[in-house]
């Protein structure tokens, strides 16, 4: 195992490198800095990435492109298998995987194949001598546990917004190593027949500076339009509590919280959301939290920067109208 070799799995979203990957490059650069190591961005997208130079500007010292025609479409099993084979062969110290939906499905498969240790929900990583330590955010962020990898190479599934992307630096092109995988080297048990991108054009929750979220206090799915209208006015993304996702009012991709997305926008509007710990786990790091709830004792007010005690059916239209006038 080469302690100095830190890998980052590169996730693409609509052929664009995900912000989360840039956060992982920042985490990897800090680790590499501790041991005089190097950061390798590993892509399993099937071909040499067009944005290798960009990966370099954000911290990668080199790019390893695992290439196979079958990897052009995303199948967790094949992508994890390709990555696992490379880890076994080259033995980096750790592979950092961002805990997106795709990352959460890649990391356990990557670890389980060759039997590598996996630490999930990591928020910070550091070397103590030759031991790699991780701080893990457990029980909805209520417990922070410091744990060590029992062996290396290991796999760290790192929570979004745990690290900020580095300031990009101009440097020459980074070396790109292309590895052509053999024809039968992937399980190929899943054939992706088509892909559809949901919500094209919408701001993704993870990337949004402003999020307007709605909860059961909206009273019914038809009232979620109040959330959409305010979000549209502010150029914000729409979020939701699990209660209304489970009730089928909005799709899961909007869910914020322990079992949804972890977000860190500049402003988070919580509308008709009580503020259960599992919801707070996903949004309490927002810079500013505006809570609208008719119950002055609602727990959401304990984390709110600004609280409005009132009925969402009255407050939301008034806010939307006021912002429209202000932004016109």
Residue numbering of the annotated binding site for FAD: 216, 241-242, 255-259, 272-279, 293
Shortest distance, position 17 Cβ to ligand FAD, whole Å:
26
Q: What are the distances in angstroms from CA 18 to CA 11, 41, 51, 129, 160? A: 6, 13, 11, 31, 11
Least Å from the CB of residue 186 to ligand FAD: 33
CB of 136 to ligand FAD, least distance (A): 17
> What are the residues binding ligand FAD (CB under 6 A)?
215-217, 219, 241-244, 255-260, 272-274, 276, 278-279, 282, 292-295, 298, 311-313
Tell the smallest beta-carbon distance from residue 121 to ligand FAD (Å): 13
Our CB check for ligand FAD shows the closer of 119 and 256 to be 256
Give the strand pairing for 62-67 and 176-180: parallel
Which C-beta is closer to ligand FAD: that of 12 or that of 140?
140
Question: Binding site residues, as ranges?
Answer: 216, 241-242, 255-259, 272-279, 293
Nearer to ligand FAD, 154 or 275 (CB): 275
Q: CB nearest ligand FAD: which residue? A: 257
**Facing residues of 56 across strands?**
none
Q: How far apart are CA 191 and CA 194, in angstroms?
A: 9
Beta strand 131-138 with 143-148 is antiparallel
Burial class of residue 235, CB neighbours in 10 A (0-12, 13-18, 19+): exposed
Question: What is the closest distance, in whole angstroms, from the C-beta atom of residue 309 to ligand FAD in the complex?
Answer: 9
3-state secondary structure of 251: coil
Question: Is the dihedral angle over the CA atoms 292, 253, 58, 27 positive or is it negative?
Answer: positive
By C-beta, is 190 or 247 nearer to ligand FAD? 247
């Amino acid at each position: 195992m080469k302690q100095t070799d830190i890998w980052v799995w590169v996730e693409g979203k609509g052929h664009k490198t995900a912000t989360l990957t840039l956060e992982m490059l920042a985490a990897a650069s800090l680790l590499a800095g501790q041991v005089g190591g190097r950061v390798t961005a590993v892509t399993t997208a099937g071909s040499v990435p067009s944005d290798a130079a960009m990966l370099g500007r954000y911290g990668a010292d080199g790019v390893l492109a695992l290439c196979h025609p079958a990897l052009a479409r995303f199948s967790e099993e094949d992508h994890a298998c390709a990555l696992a084979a490379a880890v076994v062969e080259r033995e980096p110290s750790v592979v950092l995987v961002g805990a997106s939906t795709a990352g959460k499905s890649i990391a356990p498969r990557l670890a389980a194949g060759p039997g590598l240790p996996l630490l999930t929900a990591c928020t910070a990583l550091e070397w103590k001598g030759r031991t790699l330590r991780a701080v893990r955010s457990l029980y909805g962020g209520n417990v922070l546990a410091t744990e060590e990898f029992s062996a290396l190479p290991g796999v760290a599934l790192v929570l979004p917004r745990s690290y900020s992307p580095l300031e990009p630096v101009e440097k020459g092109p980074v070396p790109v190593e292309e590895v052509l995988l053999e024809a039968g080297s992937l399980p190929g048990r899943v054939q992706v027949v088509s892909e559809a991108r949901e919500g094209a054009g919408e701001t993704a929750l993870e990337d949004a500076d402003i999020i307007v979220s709605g909860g059961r206090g909206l009273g019914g799915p038809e009232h979620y339009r109040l959330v959409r209208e305010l979000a549209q006015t502010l150029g914000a993304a729409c979020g939701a509590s699990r209660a209304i996702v489970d009730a089928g009012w909005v799709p899961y991709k909007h869910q914020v919280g322990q079992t949804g997305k972890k977000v860190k926008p500049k402003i988070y509007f919580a509308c008709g959301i009580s503020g259960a710990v599992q919801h707070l786990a996903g949004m309490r790091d927002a810079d500013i939290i505006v809570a609208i709830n008719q119950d002055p004792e609602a727990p959401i007010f304990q984390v709110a920067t600004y609280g409005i005690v009132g009925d969402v059916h009255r407050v939301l239209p008034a806010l939307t109208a006021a912002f429209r006038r202000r932004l016109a």
